[in-house]
């Protein structure tokens, strides 16, 4: 990675963290270049606008991050429903970077920007859809092998799980870390009753 690529990815990483904590609109370019020690000329050389930087963050920082935390854990050999439960548990309790009071970077951005910017909405929709499909696939296979009742809809269950994650990340902002345990406990009960 050359020096130029390094500046670019430094901007993306630091801006991602600032946006995670304060929101996209509340994170000014001036603050980004101040914390990264990158000048304005360099910033606008790498990104023609703030929006372009925001979209780059979604695609180059959030996509890989969510694949690692949200999808990869679904690929190993554990059985249903424990596989989904463990994925969720790792997501909520196992990531040292996430701060409960700040929620989830992707969920936050959906909340803030989906209604305001179609390009953001599209990029973020893809992110959620990918996760939901990965969960749905796991559920479908479990249904085929008889681990889940045949009258249930994997697509619908997957959506219910995704909404639950989105919601608990938001409620964590007001209730703090303790509520993650309540959610996980209830999720476990819900998942067990699928079979």
What is the binding site for a second copy (CB under 8 A)?
21-23, 25-26, 101-103, 107-108, 110-112, 114-116, 121, 124-125, 128, 152, 155-157, 159-160, 162-168, 170-171, 173-175, 179, 182-183, 185-187, 189-190, 193
| Binding residue (CB under 7 A) for DNA from 9, 13, 21, 51 | 51
CA-to-CA distance for 173 and 113, rounded, in angstroms? 18
Q: Which does 17 bind (CB under 5 to 8 A by kind): a second copy, DNA, none?
A: none
| Binding residue (CB under 7 A) for DNA from 1, 7, 193, 195 | 7
Question: CB of residue 186 vs a second copy: minimum separation in angstroms?
Answer: 4
Tokens of 192: 């067990």
Tell whether the torsion through CA atoms of 103, 107, 108 and 111 is positive or negative. Answer: negative
Residue 124 near residue 109 (C-beta atoms within 8 A) = yes
Residue 188 near residue 85 (C-beta atoms within 8 A) = yes
Q: How many CA atoms lie within 13 A of 70 on its CB side?
A: 23
* Comparison of 10 and 35: residue with beta carbon closer to a second copy: 35
Tokens of 185: 């406990």
Helix-then-strand count for the chain, H and E: 10, 0
Q: Which does 162 bind (CB under 5 to 8 A by kind): DNA, a second copy, none?
A: a second copy
Chain residues binding DNA by CB under 7 A are: 2-4, 6-8, 27-31, 38-42, 44-46, 48-51
């Amino acid at each position: 990675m050359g020096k130029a690529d390094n500046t670019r990815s430094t901007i993306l990483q630091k801006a991602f963290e600032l946006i995670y904590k304060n929101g996209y609109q509340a994170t000014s370019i001036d603050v980004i270049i101040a914390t990264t020690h990158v000048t304005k000329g360099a910033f606008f050389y790498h990104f023609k606008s703030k929006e372009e930087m925001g979209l780059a963050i979604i695609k180059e920082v959030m996509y890989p991050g969510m694949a690692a935390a949200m999808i990869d854990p679904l690929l190993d050999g554990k059985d249903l429903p424990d596989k989904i439960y463990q994925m969720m548990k790792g997501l909520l309790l196992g990531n040292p970077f996430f701060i409960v009071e700040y929620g989830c970077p992707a969920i936050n951005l959906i909340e803030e920007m989906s209604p305001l910017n179609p390009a953001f909405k599209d990029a973020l929709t893809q992110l959620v859809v990918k996760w939901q499909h990965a969960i749905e696939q796991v559920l479908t296979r479990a249904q085929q092998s008889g681990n889940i009742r045949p009258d249930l809809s994997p697509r619908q269950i997957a959506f219910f799980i995704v909404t639950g994650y989105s919601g608990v990340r938001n409620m964590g902002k007001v209730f703090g870390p303790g509520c993650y345990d309540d959610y996980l406990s209830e999720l476990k009960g819900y998942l067990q009753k699928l079979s």
